[in-house]
A and B are shown apart, each in its own frame.
Chain A
Amino acid sequence: MAYERLDEALKTLNRRQLLELDTCARCALCTDLCPVYAESKNPLHAPGVRSSRILSLVNKRLSLWARLLGPRPLPEGELEELVESTYHCTLCGRCMETCPFGLETHELWLNVRSLLNLLNQTPPRIKMLGEMLEENGNPYGLDADMRLDWADYTGLEEAPVKDRAEVAYFVGCTTAFKAVNQEIAYSIASLLNELNVDWTLLGEEEWCCGSPYLLAGDREGAREAAERNVEALKARGVKTVITGCAGCFRVMRWEYPKLLGGPLPFRVIHAVEYFSEHITSGDLKPEPLDARVAYHDPCELGRLGGVIEEPRIILKALTTNPVELPENGLEGRCCGGGGLLQAVDDELRLSIVDARLRQASELGVEILTSACPSCKLTLSDGVRERSYNLEVLDLMELLARQMGL
């Protein structure tokens, strides 16, 4: 262990975060609501225990006593336990929303991942993602020229890549490359065509939004991705960027200004925000379904993104029988698809999604919708794995379907 590097990495924790660690360590008020702990029952995965592990490193190396009496070495396994704790987290932010002291744990856990990245302690499978991102601009290791293949596979007639447009549709890697999600892209494109919007795709110039970089603790990689995408969008004179991916949305709307050090020259909105306006104004009139349909709040869109009402406006227009799941909105229960957990412990991810699917199933939900390709992927995996009798769709897919598109 190179202690100089450890000390430098620990110094990246900011003032508020040190204060938060002191407040959080060994408290258990949020533990029961942590989706990872709820399934694993491993105290190491509890947020308060994670904080106490980080605090222990800080106190051993950087406290006043460490400065006066000399820093203490780390006992064997201490750093490995912190890695396990840090990556057994979906970064859903439930602990943050539950904490009576309002600790911004989501940002704290991201910073701990950066710290572990600096120490070269990122788990191997997540490091591999980084290599694929470097090479191909997406975390799936697929060639950039395959970014528009979804349009062919889904039979979309008009998928414009223009030099200039008012609106850009930022598809996102998980939507463009994962077969289960390609209908989401088709639906959003079809709805934009239906509304005669002057819109464009970025095509091969679209790059990963930067979210996986942040989740892997590589802030510099995320900044470079942000710069690249913003340049491509600026060059087209885009005024509004629409995305159907909750991860892309959160990173572009809330992280890009921080990464790039200033406001963006365009607004970033999620597709549910855009199309809910058109439903309210009467531009879109979907045929309501007679089925029990529920909406699962993606963490990055609801709790971490601030978009809670708009998907419900769409849901009410799509069904005569909307169902509200327990643990919704700001208190939404994570499906398990976040934080790159799949790369570290896929069994645990499937246990987490099973808990959510059980809630939906007990309410007799026939169609479970969401507004995030990672949620759709995870919910679909869960349905297939445990044979639930419900259909998983993105809200945009259902909207397009009920519009006859």
Chain B
Amino acid sequence: MTLNAYPALYIFSVGVLPYITVIVFIVGVIVRSMKWLSAPRGSSTPLSLTAAIRQIILDVILFRKIYRHDKLTWLLIFLFHISAGGIIFGHMRGFKLWSAELFTPLGEGFKNFLVETLPIYMGYLFIATQLLLLLRRLSLEGRKLLSHPNDYAALILLLATSIAGQGMRITPPEAVDTTYTVSFIPRLVVLHLEKIPSVPWFLIHVILTQLFFMYIPYSKLIHIYTGVITAALYGSRRSEYGL
């Protein structure tokens, strides 16, 4: 079976949906940005770059403040973000942003562990932490949270995307030692596969991933980038107070 075993679905998910994804994502970012930019500027204080970077590293990357108050939640959030980072980094290899040769100096065995074995465990970790964070949210519902349905939609969509991606990884591939190229946007977004993965899982994963990307600017997942901005501004303000 080749990747275009389901021609109509393949053409839609690889040839059409990527353009829709890019447009919907950009429109979303513009709409959100317009909402923010339509408001008055507010008072501006000079930005201390070192304080801003320090705050981003400590609070957004290491989640220092959550660690101080709630070790269990910190562990879940930290592992969730670490596995997400690892998975995003792994995907970059498929898009030729780095190659497995990067790890050759570490030895063939370790290289294989990093590019073949570790991603599978990262996938399990990613799914497990999402499930636990979802359970945490459900347990807080009504007591500390009054969520909207779209808060759950974002989590469920990400979970489904990750499960499909993991399914693609753990089910036997359609063909090994056969490279395959998937051109989402010619010359710009091209995926290079070293083996042909399980086709149904691949197509589900590709479609869900794009739906997830489209949803980011319309959901609370927007904190992926607003959080970095606000943390930087806060770090700068603390240095103004001499803290």
Binding site for B on A (CB under 8 A): 11-20, 22-23, 25-29, 31-33, 37, 41, 43, 46, 48-49, 52, 58, 62-64, 96-104, 254, 258, 305-306, 308, 330-331
Contact between A22 and B220 (Cβ–Cβ < 8 Å)?
A: yes
Q: Measured between C-beta atoms, what is the minimum distance from B159 to chain A in Å?
A: 18
Contact between A22 and B226 (Cβ–Cβ < 8 Å)?
A: yes
Contact between B68 and A52 (Cβ–Cβ < 8 Å)?
A: no
Contact between B36 and A102 (Cβ–Cβ < 8 Å)?
A: no
A12 to B242 alpha-carbon distance, docked (Å): 29
Q: Measured between C-beta atoms, what is the minimum distance from A208 to chain B in Å?
A: 23
| B142-195 at interface with A (beta carbon < 8 Å) | 142-148, 151
Contact between B226 and A19 (Cβ–Cβ < 8 Å)?
A: yes
- Can you show 5 pairs from A to B with CB atoms below 8 A apart? A19-B36, A37-B144, A62-B35, A100-B65, A102-B230
Contact between A104 and B222 (Cβ–Cβ < 8 Å)?
A: no
Does residue B39 face the partner (Cβ distance < 8 Å to A)?
yes
Contact between A23 and B70 (Cβ–Cβ < 8 Å)?
A: no
A31 to B144 alpha-carbon distance, docked (Å): 7
Closest residue of chain A to B137, judged by CB? A28
Chain A residues, CB < 8 A from B55 = 102
Binding site for A on B (CB under 8 A): 31-32, 34-43, 55, 59-60, 63-66, 68-70, 73, 140, 142-148, 151, 220, 222-223, 226-227, 229-235, 237, 241-243
Max count, chain B CB within 10 A of own CB: residue among A27, A48, A49: A27
Given A14-B40, A15-B39, A26-B220, check contact A33 B69 (CB 8 Å).
Answer: yes
A344 to B140 alpha-carbon distance, docked (Å): 27
Max count, chain A CB within 10 A of own CB: residue among B42, B64, B148: B42
Given A11-B40, A306-B241, check contact A100 B63 (CB 8 Å).
Answer: yes
10 pairs of A and B residues whose beta carbons are closest in the complex: A102-B234, A14-B42, A306-B241, A101-B227, A102-B231, A31-B144, A28-B144, A23-B226, A15-B39, A23-B223
Closest residue of chain A to B147, judged by CB? A26
Q: Measured between C-beta atoms, what is the minimum distance from B237 to chain A in Å?
A: 7
Given A102-B234, A103-B230, A103-B234, check contact A18 B66 (CB 8 Å).
Answer: no
Chain A residues, CB < 8 A from B66 = 29, 100
Closest residue of chain B to A37, judged by CB? B144
| Among candidates B143, B148, B242, B243, residue contacting A43 with C-beta atoms closer than 8 Å | B143
Given A23-B222, A43-B142, A330-B243, check contact A17 B231 (CB 8 Å).
Answer: no
Q: Measured between C-beta atoms, what is the minimum distance from A257 to chain B in Å?
A: 10
Contact between A18 and B35 (Cβ–Cβ < 8 Å)?
A: yes
A332 to B76 alpha-carbon distance, docked (Å): 26
